[in-house]
Amino acid sequence: MTMVEYFSFLPYGKYAFYVWLAYGVSAITVIALFINAKRNHTRTVLSLKNKFSINQ
Amino acid sequence: MWKWIQRQASPKVFFETCSRLTPWFFWPFISLLLIGLYWSLVISPADYQQGDGYRIIFIHVPSAILSMMIYAIMAIAGGIGLIWQIKMAEVVAKVSAPIGAGFTIIALATGAIWGKPMWGAWWVWDARLTSELILLFLYLAYMSLNSAFDNPRTAAKSSSILAIVGLINLPIIHYSVKWWNTLHQGYSVGTGGLKDPDMQIALGIMFLASIFLYVLLVSIKARTEVLIREQNSRWVKEEVVGVEL
């Protein structure tokens, strides 16, 4: 059984595998970009906080 | 308006502007995305030739446009940084690169996934596909060149020159479907590619959502970058110490 047949129960039938794969890959990329941006910001703020508290 | 733009050259003002912009772009992005997805996946009818497989276009086309738009913004911001020595333009250029690379990856990946059922191949060395792949390499080259210097000003200068030289690729990508006999189809927007009004609305909403996502990510990433660059100034200290995590 191919992946295309396996996922054909989803909406869009014979194209379901491709459509949902495309939307899934895009969602993962966008979420990764967003989480990475947020995490970098938090880390930077934390490390600067540490730096300033050591200098005081 | 012009005065407002000029004031953004100050790191502190730019940082505050970005902080204020973030929520104004986050919530519209989420709403536009949800409406756009509903319009793309539910309201829009199936295509008469491609069935439901064409629905990939609603993420493919906006991300492809954004991948080129962000590159142009990156090169222009880099140029502004070079000519007028505006540090905040350098920041915008630097943080745009990974976002643009992300959009390029989405465009290439969704295109490949669409290509498999429609063309029978994940990848062909077609002019459109190849020039878009070169765009991804340009983003990666920009990012590695930018991180190869310790001094952010030197890094910005050399990578901006690379970005400006790479601008030549944008018209090549855009006109590739006209100049060469490509397997990639012609324009979907403006020239009667997509004719159904629901499809056009869905594509428009997804495009708007992508723009909001770009500005949202810039407003977060630029703040991080400004904090790192200006860490020796007093306002950063006050800003950081005041933040509760």
- pLDDT band per the 50, 70, 90 thresholds, residue A42: very high
- Substitution target in B217, B232, B234, B239 with the highest count of A β-carbons within 10 Å is B217
Low-confidence ranges of chain B (pLDDT < 50): none
A44 contacts in B (CB within 8 Å)? 224, 227-228
Provide the percentage of residues in chain A whose pLDDT is more than 70: 95
Is the pLDDT at A28 greater than 90, yes or no?
A: yes
Using CA atoms, how far apart are residues B245 and B230, in angstroms rounded to an integer? 20
Helix%, strand%, coil% for chain A, nearest 5: 85, 0, 15
Of A13, A40, A45, the CB nearest to B243: A45
Contact B100, B71 (CB under 8 A): yes
The confidence score (pLDDT) of residue B17 equals 92
Using CA atoms, how far apart are residues B8 and B15, in angstroms rounded to an integer? 9
Closest approach of B8 to chain A, Cα-based (Å): 20
The confidence score (pLDDT) of residue B199 equals 87
Average pLDDT over residues A29-34: 95
Using CA atoms, how far apart are residues B165 and B172, in angstroms rounded to an integer? 13
Q: Searching chain B, which residue's CA lies closest to the CA of residue A34?
A: B217
Average pLDDT over residues A17-24: 92
Contacts of B54 (CB under 8 A, 6+ apart): B46, B47, B114
Handedness of CA B170, B175, B177, B180 (dihedral sign): negative
Q: Cα angle at B158 between B155 and B163, to 5 degrees?
A: 110
The confidence score (pLDDT) of residue A30 equals 95
The confidence score (pLDDT) of residue B198 equals 87
Using CA atoms, how far apart are residues B186 and B175, in angstroms rounded to an integer? 9
The confidence score (pLDDT) of residue B239 equals 84
The confidence score (pLDDT) of residue B95 equals 95
